[in-house]
Amino acid sequence: MVVNTTTARPPAPPGPRLTLGLLRTLAVLFLLAVLAQPVLAGLYLSGEWDALGVHSANATLVQFLSFLVLLSALAYWLAGRGRGRVALAAAVLFVAVTLQAGFGYARELGLHIPLGVALVTATVLFTIWVCGRGGRAPRRPWRGAR
């Protein structure tokens, strides 16, 4: 009996799958909401006074999505055996979003605008990182583990 090994699929690589898919989906939604913020602020500054209300409502969405990204990053790390650095980065983004909203509602534009620029940049980089090939890499075993 001859077995054809050319059509056999290689085994799937170990690592996070479901948790990574959830994290990637939420990261992209979070990125889209974050990218809308400067557009809405620009509309307000160009005379569309109603855009400030939409900017504020979208800020609430950004905060909610940052919390969901944090939860999914924790699930990716703990249940999906993904890298812990992703959860740490998501936690930093969550804190930055919370500060950003506070500065915005307090009308502290000297802090709100530069933090907003940093937040957009960090969110773009985070999403690229999570959606890239590094996201599929499983967590490395402890040094003492065999």
Look up residue 145 and give its two tokens: 């583990």
Report residue 138 as tokens.
């499983």
Closest CA to 20 of 112, 129, 114, 101: 129
Encode the chain (146 residues) as per-residue pLDDT tens digits.
666 656 666 655 555 688 899 999 999 999 999 999 999 999 998 888 888 999 999 999 999 999 999 999 999 999 888 888 999 999 999 999 999 999 999 999 999 999 999 999 999 999 999 998 766 666 655 555 54
Query: Against a cut of 0.75, is the pTM above it?
Result: yes
